[in-house]
Amino acid sequence: MEKKKLNRATRTEQRGLIVEELYRMDIHGENTFDDTPYTFVNTTIEAVNESMAAIDTLISDNLKGWTIRRLSFVDRAILRLAVYEMAFTETGREVVIDEALKLTKKYSDEGDRKHVSFNNRVLDTIKKQLEEA
């Protein structure tokens, strides 16, 4: 992202930065995060890391015929961010799912919408589980 654009990143763009960082950290197997100019990005990455076990359990419990390790690094990062926001913030769950699908289209989908459909199914199932709790 250009520095000019970074100074005024939208919430969607900030979520993209979070996904990129979660992806990097997953690839490297360690926290490689350096603070950004965005409080939302910094606090969300820290919170996702602190809640990773609970987030991964929610994802794993709602994967049909898959394991969390079988997911691509980028889909895992997108799902982790979305599940964190659905389970631990006040952001509307429909908004979270919509944002996650935008990120999937940008970072993961290969034009066949399979990744979008898969992530949508997983997140919708998790949303229903959270609403029943």
Q: According to the model, what pLDDT value does residue 30 have? A: 80
Is the entire prediction scored with pTM above 0.85?
yes
How far out from the chain centre does Cα 15 lie?
A: 8
Instruction: For residue 48, give the nearest of 19, 14, 74, 72 by alpha carbon.
Output: 19
- pLDDT, position 7: 62
If 0-12 CB within 10 Å is exposed, 13-18 middle and 19+ buried, where does residue 43 land? exposed
What's the topology of domain 3-132? N-utilizing Substance Protein B Homolog; Chain A (1.10.940)
- What is the CB-side half-sphere exposure of residue 94 using CA atoms within 13 A? 0
Q: Which of these, 64, 22, 60, lies nearest to 41 by C-alpha position?
A: 22
Tens-of-pLDDT digits for all 133 residues of the chain? 444 444 688 999 999 999 999 999 999 988 778 888 999 999 999 999 999 999 999 999 999 899 999 999 999 999 999 999 999 999 999 999 999 999 999 998 777 789 999 999 999 999 999 999 7
